[in-house]
Structure 1
């Protein structure tokens, strides 16, 4: 896909996310990694609902601005995730309400922020890490992302929002949406002792769809044992 169409794709998905209330105001950002190692990234203080393809920031492989408006201040976040997730070609960062709310709950396991609630959560988002709070744009968040060593495609920033990588922008958007809906389910069912997927059901998904999930940690209960990443599932 040529750069013109990639710019249009960023605008199309950004508008869809904004119009459905998944990232309000000028919050959130999207990036795409290009074949030459450079990026397209949404500008700072830009609403995802009103992006101009011509004003999207074009960066070289070193992160220097080549054209367009100044880029989002979350460049360190995107850079570290690309660095550690070699197959990632797109990253979506939102301030989606239910995902942010999840990060504020005291019981959340940072190695597995959500239990295995639905098959599509595992198939699209894999499993989700939770990082501590960093102020927006803090370069230290890059070291925190590197500390995950590329094991996760979906990450939650405490009191801030989700960051999700994908092989394509569509895959990253779909995984972000699945993460948000799963966070919503968790909040709806919190305290009601819901039935999650069993270990056998999770293993069946792993085998059928070729998911890559790390082995369970003997010190965790099953509900929080399946941290890691996955390849997006297909209908």
Structure 2
């Protein structure tokens, strides 16, 4: 029953993000952890058309290795999700999008790499925590995964430079609320910089 609820939440979240323009094409990915398995959207899937059989199933071993359990190919950015799951047993879900305002904010030069987002809304720190910046590397590349691994313990969520946000949560809805709060905070922060955005 718990798994079915998680699966329903994952599909609802994906469709909600897509229909509101916060995920486009096949660029976003999400995952959730249930018992000893990680379910992640398959490569090339579209959040607007996501179905229950579009998830790759990865068996999570105690040493943090993952073995595929079905024929769906996991998103090429699965290592980013895995880094979160290795970070804390409390993390049960991860969402990554290319949402507009967070991505724009990731393109600026920032004086520091950690806690880069001004907490304009009162809920950013409450729902997400600190937001770090991961230097640019090609999406899906080993270089990106290495850079992300070096930063994973420094902040709670991240902006991948020139790429987009990635947020984790104790469940799918918390990760969803977090990525929504981050996007809204980025929108307001950018409005102060340029009201025409």
The structure with more radius of gyration: 1
> TM-score, normalising length from structure 2?
0.90
**What is the CA–CA distance in structure 1 between the aligned matches of 2:3 and 2:158, rounded to whole Å?**
27
Does 2:70 match 1:71? no
How big is each residue's C-alpha offset from its partner over 1:15-37, in whole Å with a ceiling of 9 and x where there is no partner?
Answer: 0111111011111100001212x
Give the equivalent residue in structure 2 for 1:156: 159
Q: Is the 8 A contact 2:91 2:170 kept in 1?
A: yes
* 2:83 equivalent in structure 1: 80
Deviations 1:68-106, CA, capped at 9 Å, x for gaps = 521100011111121123311000000001000001112
Q: What residue number does 2:26 align with?
A: 26
Match of 2:191 in 1: 188
Counterpart CA distance in 2 for 1:137 and 1:85 is 22
Partner-residue secondary structure (3-state), 1:64: strand
Q: Given the alignment, which residue of 89, 96, 121 partners 1:118?
A: 121
RMSD of the alignment, in Å? 1.7
CA distance in 1, matches of 2:98, 2:147: 19
Where does structure 2 lack aligned partners over 5 or more consecutive residues?
A: none
SS in structure 1 at match of 2:148? helix
1: distance between equivalents of 2:154 and 2:5?
30
> Which whole-Å CA distance do the structure 2 matches of 1:8 and 1:122 have between them?
27
Of Structure 1 and Structure 2, the greater strand share is in 2
The 3-state SS of whatever aligns with 1:155 is strand
